[in-house]
Amino acid sequence: MSGTPSSELHCTVLSRRETMTSTKLVFLFSVAVISLGTVRTAEADLPHVEISNWAIRFGAQMWEIGKQVTRIREIKERYQSEAKIEQVDGFAMVKEMAEEMENMMGDKIEAIKRIMDAAEQLSVSHPRLSRQDLYEMRQRAETIEYYNAKRLNMYHKSGPKAGELLDNHKELIMSNSQHFGNVGVNTSVSAVHVPTNVFDGGPDVMNGILWSEQLDRIFMTNYESDPSLTWQYFGSSTGFMRQYPATKWGQGEWEPDLFDCRLRPWYLQAAASPKDMIILVDTSGSMTGVRKEIAKHVVLTLLDTLSENDFINIYKFSEVPVPVVPCFKDKLVQANLENVRELRNGMMESETSDIANFTSAFTTAFEILAKYNRTTQGSQCNQAIMLVTDGAPVGYREIFEKYNWPHKPVRVFTYVIGREIIDTAATNWMACANKGYFARVTSLAEVREQVLKYIPVLSRPMVMYQKDHPVIWTSAYIDIAEPKLSDWLWEIRERRKQRDRSLNYRALLRLISERNNAQSDDTSNVTGNNTRDASGRPTISMTVEQYLTYGNLVNEERLNAHRIKQEREEAANPANNQQHNRQGKSVTSTTPNPVSSVPTKHPDGPRAEALVKPDTLKAWLKRIETRTKPKFLMAISVATPVYDRKNFSNIIEKILINDIWEEKTRTVRTANLLGVAGTDIPVTELKKRTPAYKLGVNGYSFIVNNNGFVLHHPDHRPLDADGLLKPNYNTVDLSEVELVDSDGGPRENDTYLMTMRREMIERREGETSFKVRVHHDGMRRVSVRRQRYYYRGLKGTPYSLGLALPDGYGHFRVVAETEVKRLMADHNINVSSFFSGKNWKIHPDWIYCRYNYDHLKSFDSPEAQVMHFVDRTQRERWRWNSKHPRPSHDSARCDKHLMQSLIFDAQATEVFDKNISLSIDRQDPGLGMLMALLARHAMFKLFGISVAFVATRSGLLRWQDISTIDDKHFSEANLNAIDQTWYKRAVDQYSVEPDSFVYSVPFSTGTGITNESVVTASHAIFVEKGGYKAPAAVVGLQYKNSAFRETFFNITSGCTGGVQCRRTCSSGDLSCYVVDNHGYIVISKEERDTGRFFGEIDWLVMDSLIHYGVFKRVRIYDYQAVCKDMQGHRSAANFILTPLRYMKWFVQWMVGRATWLILQTQIAHLMNPDWAWAMEQEQADYHNEDNDESPGPTPTGGEFMADGDISIIVHDEAVTMDNAYANKTRPRPCDQQADLYVLQPEKLFKGDKPDSVKGKQNCNSNNLGARQCERHYSTHKIPHSNLLLLVIDTTCRCETQKQKIEMEEVRVNESLFCERPQENLYRLRPSVCLSYHPEEEEIKQCGKGSLQLPSLLLMTTTMIYSILKAI
């Protein structure tokens, strides 16, 4: 038969030890196989023909199993017979979606304009309470009632008043609303937030709270007319914010609260036009101590007031001006998060010396601003110099005459630092003579209020025009996020990591000490290979580093409830602890048990019990790994300024007349900003306007603003792996998420991409196409495909909408809908019957039908909500609403096409739930015929299948299972099935091999995957008509890893036709691997290799496959990466303590205390300058139980130490004090890269016939006396799959190399360190700039200065203190 096909059928017995007994045989089934040749008997040669047969048989068998279990034929026939194929018009789709967004955004603009107009009228008509009026009210014990968001629904927790409201708090009935982020709200009123540093009893604040209360009726009217509105607010220039609907603030009145509406992006951008700003910081010898701290925080607060439309630089100056960031010399940089972070870091370290040279500093600042104004760079709007100093000797009039007068294009703002009585006349004159403002900052508590005084000055031209209310749109941002908050959360995480490590260090010392002090040596000779010590305790084998990091826990892979269950069963049945390997030999497991499963009581009681409770293990794991992950919601805001319509104001001045201070009222010209009105639009709301079911599989939408930054994009990843915000989370450019497939290096921008980016920034309409690299699974896999892009500007906004559709199937859609009333009329079928049972779910983020006011009608689940509307659609009076129905409390928003598609899919997949035998297909003999006779649950048990599922284009997910492997059920982990990688990969695989499954296993780090892990297989069902094809659904199943391996080794342990084989995958001289199309191991002899990249096992063979073209190397870049810079720890012995040092400390403390008392400085602000309150630290960086600092005893290799019901084996490292310190890190934005690999299946075919790739590796060593040999391997494509069979001859022992897939930082040449390609990218300035009004010179309010004598006592104590600090 050599060389000719054979029609003979051969049989294979699938061994299942779960069902076999000595008297009963399992079912026999037939598989049609083709014998391709005879096996050469030469021992040195690989059995290439048999290897090919193995691949064919394994692929055919798994295809038949999957095809029968998932009901592919029945489901496909239903779609094929009733569905239609519709071609997608990309231009028409992007136009339709853009118009939908424009209508929605237009409604938001109208809403904020109504708030703005009402606020301006109310501020004029409302009677104003004076300071005297408020004082008299307090004397009469009268209070002004309002809902303070920090004083709502707070009760005494204990004591005689337990359950009663706290003093000065109010009770407000609230109901949870999914529309408002699942928080309790009251839509009848608004609530007021007052920042911690603002006194709500001040006249300006209190008057604003009083008149703005009448905005509630406007808020409610807006919400009734537009139910899609979320939070509406008015942010006052005095600091308070009124927000609708009322909700309880996240922090109480006495808890840390960094929020100030005047520092939010929507306020800053609406309150003033864009600006170029240069900050000049005096670092002369007088700027030391407290002044230096205050000056630093003035600068940091100024940085908080910038937006991405502003440009900034900071210069420190004494003798000469020096940029705080050397790379920013002689230029302005965009005030995005990354650049601002660099400037912040540059301000952290500064030396003070010499005398301030103001002439040089002002000259540098004016020349840079003039250059940017002249060359049309920067913001091309406001320009400002911010001077931070402790005083100037003269006004430097000649500088301003030369560079700024007479037109005064640059405003000058001066901040004089220090409480000391000094001459401020010169700095006051600088500000007043250059349309700026003078502010004096005497303590850290004043910094924010004094810094914010410059914003109303910049807004004066805008206010004076009155009728012009520019509408601004922000970038996507996280409302609660601030750079300080992100840094603080990172620091808290690092402190917790250090705390846990220190506690583990102390515990390890205790364990070692107890072990060495033990009187018995019963456990001293136990090796690490045993799973229990002499006392019967389960053991954990780990290194010192592992114990210090995790304590007595190990990684998450081994901490799951099923492993615990398995170990409990082993403990209950010791005789069954032996298992059979794939070759039938009896072996004993040597895997150390990670967690005790013996349900015995220990003297420690609860602690011993906790070790066997899965819930407790999960809680410990959370504490170990990420700590607390905040939940963030991305949103954009639309806002407009609110003006004071009064052009003049009466001010009261105190004038000294005949040694008596008298108050005089004077009328002055003003242009005051009342605040900003705005509303939020969650990014999720934008996505809902581009329904995913219309975009199709692997299609997506994205939005770009005028700076080229994405508001949303599927590859936009604002959070890092630990759930914390990335440093530059909202300034991700389009060129950083669309990775063009090219051979260029990092950030080498493609012409087609940059052309599209420019046209989208300019809000044009267009179309283009190019190849991109799309990564999956945390950048472990990559796909290369051509995509076509359609884009269009959004009118009235700085945004453009883009759509990306894959070439080919991406431009066709399956159209199949069920008209409910027609189905009822023609067939009298209750549509609800299609949704019987509980084994189905829908996409939780899609809008099928929902009420406009969801807090009035709530449902337990999205499925309950859909069923509610399915029932309603069958009523006689049901009418599908238009796209923009008139809202009412009972009105609903429904997507007719999506609902009817869902009903059709439910009917088409109804067969999936039925546990019946299928009709026999006479055309499909062998295994298919046998399986058709089996009940479905019998098939599940026979082949080790845990779950089978089908997911459709309408978001429907059905499944059927007989067991649960993971703690989290398949349906819970795959609610959004159409977005899952297995769904997308199955659709892409269809074009490679239509009749195939895509197989995948969980990724592994080499610690091992247990038998209870799963292999997921998925297959796409396409509808093909008229030469077109489009995906309708994806079916799939999950195998137990043990059953999947067993099937493979049963097939590869024998030869075709029952011939005795010399060499098989079960023999010791062949290594067999099943590898997926990205190089990850699916099956290996060593179970711990499952899920690992094959290059980690044998890189030389992998490299050879790349050389032969079997795999293609594809480099992927991550431009949103975060690199962690290590920070060292201070040693406890860095200096010698002597009596002189103690004396110095005492004198320094005394003088310092005296100085603080004179300055009346609050020490809490210096210790924690970001807040104006005291805060209890969670814990110190490390926990010290006693004063014993000795390193303790050192363990030797393989020693057991009891820890509760667990014995710890700590391997061969010495334990010293250095082990107690964690490597603290600090995040930094960076670029990273990695090489990924993609199978090239055409290399494994010769024409239409499968072909193998054979290779060899020369194993000759340098030792002439050693045996010279070659190592051969053979590679075969496994049909009906994305898998590859790789067999390696191991008779010749070769040295192997290993290579992991890891992201590594892209290193930049030192000479190019300051060059940032993204800084030169095209951007478009905001269309409105209001920076000048001819009558502004009439406004004279510019701050007040003074001329007084210094304090001799203060100067003396400060000098002594400075000398002592220098010693």
Tokens of 1025: 């008509």
> Is the per-residue pLDDT at 1095 higher than 90?
yes
Burial (0-12, 13-18, 19+ Cβ within 10 Å), 690: buried
Tell me: pLDDT of 970 over 80. yes
- Condensed to tens digits (0 to 9), the pLDDT of residues 177-217 reads 888 888 899 999 999 999 988 988 889 999 999 999 999 99
Confidence of residue 590 (pLDDT cuts 50, 70, 90): very low
Contact predicate 694/668, CB 8 Å: no
Q: 393-424, pLDDT tens digit by residue?
A: 999 999 999 999 999 999 999 999 988 757 78
Query: CB–CB of 504/548 below 8 Å?
Result: yes
Q: Note the pLDDT tens digit of each residue in 1170-1194.
A: 433 333 333 333 334 443 444 444 4
For 164, residues 6+ apart whose C-beta sits below 8 A from its C-beta are 155, 156
pLDDT at 547: 72
**Per-residue b or e along 134-152, where b marks 16 or more CB atoms closer than 10 Å to that residue's CB:** beeeeeeeeeeebbbbbbb
- Does 624 score more than 80 pLDDT? no
Mean pLDDT of all residues in 1135-1142 = 53
pLDDT at 1359: 61
Stretch 980-993: mean pLDDT, rounded? 95
Average pLDDT over residues 307-313: 95
Higher-pLDDT residue of 1201 and 465 is 465
For residues 490-512, give the mean pLDDT. Answer: 79
Run of H or E residues at 266? helix 265-271
Pairing outcome for strands 1014-1025 and 998-1000: antiparallel
pLDDT > 80? residue 949: yes
* pLDDT band of 522, cuts 50, 70, 90: very low
Q: Cα(1122)–Cα(981) distance, rounded to whole angstroms?
A: 24
**pLDDT tier at 1133, thresholds 50, 70, 90:** very low
**What does the alpha-carbon distance between residue 931 and residue 942 come to, in Å, rounded to a whole number?**
10
Q: Which of 406-420, 479-493, 730-744, 1064-1078 has the lowest mean pLDDT?
A: 479-493
Q: Do the beta carbons of residue 746 and residue 1233 sit within 8 Å?
A: yes
Q: Where are the alpha helices (DSSP H) in 83-202?
A: 90-125, 131-139
Residue 464 has pLDDT above 80, yes or no: yes
Least confident of 323-332, 604-613, 955-964, 1074-1083: 604-613
* pLDDT at 643 > cutoff 80: yes
- What pLDDT shows up at residue 1011? 46
Q: What angle do CA 863, 865, 867 make, to 5 degrees?
A: 70
| Predicted pLDDT at 1361 | 54
pLDDT tops 70 at residue 473:
yes
Digit-coded pLDDT (tens) for 721-769: 777 888 888 899 999 999 999 988 888 888 999 999 999 999 999 999 9
Distance CA 118, CA 110 (A): 12
Element (H, E) at 1201: strand 1199-1203
Model confidence band, residue 13 (pLDDT cutoffs 50, 70, 90): very low
Q: Indicate whether 699 pLDDT > 50.
A: yes
CA 422 – CA 414 distance, rounded (Å): 15
User: What is the predicted pLDDT for the residue at 493?
Assistant: 75
Q: What pLDDT does 354 receive? A: 87
Q: For residue 101, which phi and psi values (nearest 5 degrees)?
A: -65, -40
% of the chain with per-residue pLDDT over 70:
74
Query: Which H or E run contains 447?
Result: helix 447-451
Q: Chain-wide mean pLDDT for the chain?
A: 79
Closest C-alpha to 476, from 338, 683, 336: 683
User: Can you give the pLDDT at residue 190?
Assistant: 96
N- to C-terminal Cα separation, the chain: 97
Is the per-residue pLDDT at 1060 higher than 60?
A: yes
Q: Where does the pLDDT of residue 848 fall: very low under 50, low under 70, confident under 90, or very high at 90 and above?
A: very high
Residue found by looking up tokens 């300080």 in the block:
484
